[in-house]
Amino acid sequence: MLKFPLRAIDIARIVGGEIEGDGDFEVFDIKESENAGERDLTVWNGKDKINERVGVVISNQKPPVSFSAFIRVENYRLALAKLLELFEPKKREFFGNPIIEEGAEISESAIIGPFSYISRGAKIGEGVVIYPFVFIGEDVEIGENTVIFPFVYIGWGTKIGKNCMIYPGAVIGSEGFGFERTAEGWVRIPQVGKVIVGDNVRIGANVCVDRATFGETVISHGVKIDNLVQIAHNVKIGENTVIAAQTGIAGGTKIGKWNIFAGQVGITEHLKIGDNVIILAGSGVDRDVKDNSVLAGKIPARDRLEFWRSASLFFKLPEIYEKLKEIEKKLK
């Protein structure tokens, strides 16, 4: 794990940048640009306020302030990622024993924390780290170098790929929300499908991914999911899609690749969302979306017929406005 102090020349090597100034200058902390001082390192985006005197600056443009060393990079965010990755704690050993049922297969290089429970038929790959208080159900498979943080539940039959990170409180493979109304009440529809999670997936704290009714709920390679997201049964999410906090995706919806969903997006059931779609915060989606679309908008709930009439009129406003301008010209 990387620790301060660090020389400017060593930082430049880590981020792959070109250095200007004193390569032997040492910094003792990393701070935001407006708070960085004479002995600090900062990564500057070229827009935010920056202190008048900074120790070392990493950026794609030279800052208009005094510095001891400047490290020029093409992409300052990628440079920051390379640097901060080295500050993360390394894998650690835990004290105490987990409970492991007979028939579970666990790699010798895996690290299992105390009070975790590994069910029979589970397969834990090389380099996996499972923190304390994790439940792993029957026939779960976890790929190599995946890290699972405390208080995660992984239901039976779930398959998780390589190099994933699953954060505290996530529930993967809980029962999907399926009921049928009868005169006597709601009848539960058992959910007997699975959840499949690809490689290099990030699942945030308190995310819920429901198992399929039958078949599979799928989170494809490279998907990044923020905290407090609900993914319902039989949803399929394409590669490298990013989903921000408090988004909810209803059952059976199919989502393409490289999409970006901002916070509190709501998507109704059985829709098809294309590739490279951006949906802005608070948007409600109730119909299929074509590739490369950018969506926004949310209106408070009201009587549905009134809402549909208003929504229809709303999208005609530009045309109505142009007609009003023509009428205004004639009246003048």
Burial of 196-230, coded b for 16+ CB within 10 Å and e otherwise, reads: bbbbbbbbbbbbbbbbbbeebbbbbbbbbbbbbbb
Q: Do residues 203 and 209 touch, judged by C-beta distance below 8 A?
A: yes
Q: Is the dihedral of CA 68, 69, 75, 76 positive or negative?
A: negative
Write down the catalytic residue from 159, 162, 233, 236. Answer: 233
Give the three-class secondary structure for 313. Answer: helix
Residue 48 CA to residue 308 CA, distance in Å, equals 43
Residue 105 CA to residue 128 CA, distance in Å, equals 12
List the Cα angle 9/15/16 in 5-degree steps: 80
Residue 324 CA to residue 237 CA, distance in Å, equals 45
Residue 249 CA to residue 272 CA, distance in Å, equals 11
Residue 289 CA to residue 282 CA, distance in Å, equals 16
3-state percent breakdown (helix, strand, coil) of the chain, nearest 5: 15, 30, 55
Task: Say whether 270 is catalytic.
Answer: no
Q: What is the number of residues in the chain?
A: 332
Q: How many CA atoms lie within 13 A of 73 on its CB side?
A: 24
**Largest Cα–Cα distance in the chain?**
89
Tell me which residues are annotated as active site.
233
